Amino acid sequence: KQEVTQIPAALSVPEGENLVLNCSFTDSAIYNLQWFRQDPGKGLTSLLLIQSSQREQTSGRLNASLDKSSGRSTLYIAASQPGDSATYLCAVKEDRGGSNYKLTFGKGTLLTVNP
């Protein structure tokens, strides 16, 4: 059974700091990995999606890496801003030969960026 773990559970940093969020998964047979952002009481906004054959993806100040063999991904946020404050969720889609469609999520990291 796939399990996704995110560390740390919560993180508080001053504005301008670079930071790294961690995600690990137990079964390396994944189709892709996705990072989401969730604001309080809201739905999920997709930030980056990395296919299993890729090593990293970048969007603006965000960079996500994937090491499938070790079951790890990191989300790097450069020059953090108060508007980055949210919960960040990691999710994997397992590769089951085309018969799996669900995402398996971690519990998330609650990020607070202080002005």
Partner 1 sequence: DAGVTQSPTHLIKTRGQQVTLRCSPKSGHDTVSWYQQALGQGPQFIFQYYEEEERQRGNFPDRFSGHQFPNYSSELNVNALLLGDSALYLCASSLRGNQPQHFGDGTRLSIL
Preceding peptide of 14 cis, ω within 30°: no
Select the residue interacting with partner 1 from 16, 18, 26, 107 (CB under 8 A). 107
Choice from 19, 31, 62, 76 touching partner 1 (CB under 8 A): 31
Measuring CA to CA, which residue among 29, 24, 39 is closest to residue 83? 39
Partners of 57 in beta bridges: 64
Q: Is 2 in the site for partner 1 (CB under 8 A)?
A: no
55 binds partner 1 (CB under 8 A): no
Q: Which is nearer to partner 1, 17 or 88 (CB)?
A: 88
CB nearer to partner 1: pick between 18 and 45 = 45
55 phi, psi to nearest 5 deg: -105, -30
